[in-house]
């Protein structure tokens, strides 16, 4: 049984299909390609695809018509429009027809992977093969952050809190005690020095 997620790329430029295959084939996807809309619709009669990418400008049926027909036949299948001739009007029309995304060329490997994941997520599908390692890393990072936040949020022991409160209220009295004791300390030191001088003076006679 094939557990890979099925991706269909519709583009009259074969390089685009090969690019998707290079990026996604090793990440738990099986990529099929079609060079035009008619070929794509025939392919979809035999395979249930998890996500479909279609170019707009193609010979015969354009990508917007392809999107409309796919959505009429399989409304649950996410369709992402990719084009090098992106216009606001095309983007609006694609959205009205039910497209799940509109991406402009050129596509980088990062864009291909991220837009595929987003389309699957929007459709409620889960890519277990590639998401598991990434999810583990993100979970680990989140755990570290959570532990740090918990450590900051954990209250001090009760004894430490009571000690801090006691020092806070006692500090004015401690300062006052130093102020009151200072003259006596000074007087004591003065008397001590005087006594030592007196003894020294009489011992030298």
**143: confidence class by pLDDT, cuts 50, 70, 90:** very low
pLDDT at 155: 44
Strands (E), the chain: 5-10, 29-34, 51-55, 79-83, 101-104
Q: Based on the number of CB atoms within 10 Å of its own CB, is 91 exposed (0-12), middle (13-18) or buried (19 or more)?
A: middle
Domain boundaries, the chain: 5-132
CA nearest neighbour of 50 among 123, 155, 150: 123
Render pLDDT for 5-20 as a digit per residue (tens, 0 to 9). Answer: 999 999 999 999 999 9
Specify the fold of 5-132.
Answer: Rossmann fold (3.40.50)
pLDDT at 79: 96
- Cβ contacts of residue 16 below 8 Å, gap of 6+? 9, 55, 82, 105, 107
For 55-69, 86-100, 121-135, 143-157, which range has the lowest pLDDT when averaged over its residues? 143-157
Render pLDDT for 30-47 as a digit per residue (tens, 0 to 9). Answer: 999 999 999 999 999 999
Please, what is the average pLDDT of the chain?
75
pLDDT at 173: 52
Q: Of all helices (H) and strands (E), which one includes residue 203?
A: helix 158-203
Mean pLDDT of the 97-121 span? 93
CA nearest neighbour of 39 among 67, 61, 14: 61
Number of helices (H) and strands (E), helices first, in the chain?
A: 7, 5
Mean pLDDT of the 180-196 span? 56
């Amino acid at each position: 049984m094939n557990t890979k997620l099925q991706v269909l790329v519709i583009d009259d430029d074969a390089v685009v299909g090969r690019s998707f295959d290079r990026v996604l084939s090793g990440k738990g996807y099986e990529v099929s390609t079609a060079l035009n809309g008619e070929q794509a619709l025939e392919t979809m009669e035999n395979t249930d695809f998890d996500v479909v990418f279609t170019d707009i400008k193609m010979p015969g049926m354009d990508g917007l018509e392809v999107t409309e027909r796919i959505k009429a036949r399989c409304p649950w299948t996410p369709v992402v429009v990719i084009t090098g001739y992106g216009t606001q009007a095309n983007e609006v029309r694609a959205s009205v027809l039910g497209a799940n995304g509109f991406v402009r060329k050129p596509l980088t490997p990062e864009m291909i992977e991220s837009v595929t994941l987003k389309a699957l997520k929007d459709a409620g599908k889960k890519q277990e093969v590639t998401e598991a390692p990434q999810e583990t890393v993100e979970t680990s990072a989140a755990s570290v952050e959570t532990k740090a936040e918990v450590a900051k949020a954990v209250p001090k022991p009760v004894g430490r809190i009571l000690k801090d409160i006691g020092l806070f209220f006692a500090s004015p009295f401690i300062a006052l005690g130093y102020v009151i004791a200072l003259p006596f300390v000074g007087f004591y030191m003065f008397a001590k020095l005087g006594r030592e001088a007196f003894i020294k003076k009489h011992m030298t006679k």
